[in-house]
Amino acid sequence: MLSKKMGDALNGQIQWEMFSGYIYLAMSANCDSIGLKGFANWFMVQYKEEMDHAFKMYNYLLEQGADVELLAIDKPQQSYDSPLQMFEVALEHEQGVTKRINDLVDLAISEKDHATQIFLQWFVTEQVEEESNANENIDKLKLIKDNPGGLFMMDKDLAARVFTPITAEE
């Protein structure tokens, strides 16, 4: 059983995960429109992952008999100057998500809510990967700079990313 405060906080995180998905979906459309289909694929997979993160929280609330309350999602930034700027925005956003996950863990600890604490560990680990992915792509794009051949090769690499639902990983 969850406290009302914990339930509200997890509903807030569902909103945030969906907002993350919205940001990545806009980035995907942006890349598609400039012919970077591989980058568009990478961001589309990221969008699906974020919706899966939201769904994992949604399922947990239902399992715990708590109320699901879907909140309004803000309009994301629609246009970017470059793929590098997209990944820089993504990194800053993910650092914010990490802070929010840590705050949720702190709340679960303060409430002695062991089940939620254990549930949130998956997200703690996931955030390390989320930040690392953004950092890795920023490093590559900085190396590539204005080299179209390098960008083309990176686009080919990013085209290979596939979405794996969390349920298939567990």
29 or 153: CB nearest ligand FEO = 29
Q: How far apart are CA 88 and CA 47, in angstroms?
A: 16
Q: Which uninterrupted H or E stretch holds 24?
A: helix 4-33
3 or 161: CB nearest ligand FEO = 161
Residue 33 CB coordination number (10 Å)? 10
Q: How far is the CB of 108 from ligand FEO (least distance, A)?
A: 17
Q: How distant, in Å, are the alpha carbons of 33, 58, 96, 160 from that of 13?
A: 30, 10, 12, 29
Q: How far apart are CA 67 and CA 61, in angstroms?
A: 7
Q: Confirm or reject binding of residue 13 to ligand FEO (CB under 6 A).
A: no
Q: Confirm or reject binding of residue 18 to ligand FEO (CB under 6 A).
A: no
Q: Confirm or reject binding of residue 137 to ligand FEO (CB under 6 A).
A: no
* Cα three-residue angle 121-129-51, rounded to 5 degrees: 75
62 or 96: CB nearest ligand FEO = 96
Residue matched to tokens 């792509």: 137
Taking the alpha carbons at both ends of the chain, their separation in whole angstroms is: 23
Q: How far is the CB of 130 from ligand FEO (least distance, A)?
A: 4
Which of 42, 62, 38 has the alpha carbon at shortest distance from 50? 42
Q: How far is the CB of 20 from ligand FEO (least distance, A)?
A: 5
Q: Confirm or reject binding of residue 42 to ligand FEO (CB under 6 A).
A: no
32 or 131: CB nearest ligand FEO = 131
53 or 140: CB nearest ligand FEO = 53
Q: How far apart are CA 13 and CA 163, in angstroms?
A: 21
Q: Confirm or reject binding of residue 50 to ligand FEO (CB under 6 A).
A: yes
Q: How far is the CB of 50 from ligand FEO (least distance, A)?
A: 5
Q: Confirm or reject binding of residue 17 to ligand FEO (CB under 6 A).
A: yes
Residues that bind ligand FEO in the complex, under the rule CB under 6 A: 17, 20, 50, 53, 94, 97, 130
